Amino acid sequence: MEPVIQITREPLNREALVTAVAAPEVGGIVIFEGVVRNHARGKQIRYLEYDAYPEMAEQQIRRIVEEARQRWGAERVAVAHRLGRIEIGEASVIIVVATPHRAEAFEACRYIIDTLKTTVPIWKKEVSLDGEAWVEG
């Protein structure tokens, strides 16, 4: 299937992403959901704000998903990233990988999130009780 890639300011819909990758030949579905945490580097976080270079982000994600397809045969993948203000406990990113057997789904999902975090032009700003700052590294 063509991968599902969403970069959106709307709340993410996990169930819809799982439905999109489900298929009769699938034996395992791995979901990674990144959620906003109330603390970071000793600061108490109020909320996060995400920004992206959307066209390039989508292109980079497409490339990462294609690498996962080639390395682990992960043919059914959905990646969704939310932008804008995201509150504590809400999802900022969801990755769903469905494969015939679970090992490939775990590996591919881990690869996609780790690579996404380092190469896809999406930034987060932490807004804490002390102030706000774009996070680097």
Partner 1 sequence: MKIRVRYFAGLREIVGQDAETLTVPEGTDVAGARALLVARYSRLQPILERSLCAVNREYVPADRVLQEDDELVFIPPLGGGAA
Task: Yes or no: say if 71 and 64 are a contact pair by the CB < 8 Å rule.
Answer: no
- Pick 101 or 132: Cβ nearer partner 1: 132
Contacts of 86 (CB under 8 A, 6+ apart): 36, 47, 48, 49, 50, 92
Supply the minimum distance, in Å, between the C-beta of residue 57 and partner 1.
Answer: 9
What is the 8-class DSSP label of residue 38?
Answer: S
Applying CB under 8 A, which residues contact partner 1? Answer: 34, 51-53, 55-56, 59, 114, 117-125, 134-137
- 17/100 Cα distance (integer angstroms): 17
**C-beta separation of 134 from 125 below 8 A:** yes
Distance of closest approach, residue 22 Cβ to partner 1, in angstroms: 28
To partner 1, the closest distance from the beta carbon of 133 in angstroms equals: 9
If the CB atoms of residues 114 and 130 are measured against partner 1, the closer one turns out to be 114
Least gap, CB of 28 to partner 1 (angstroms): 21
Q: Measured from the CB atom, is 14 or 125 closer to partner 1?
A: 125
Closer CB to partner 1, residue 76 or residue 81? Answer: 81
Give the residue from 43, 134, 45 showing the smallest Cα distance to 86: 45
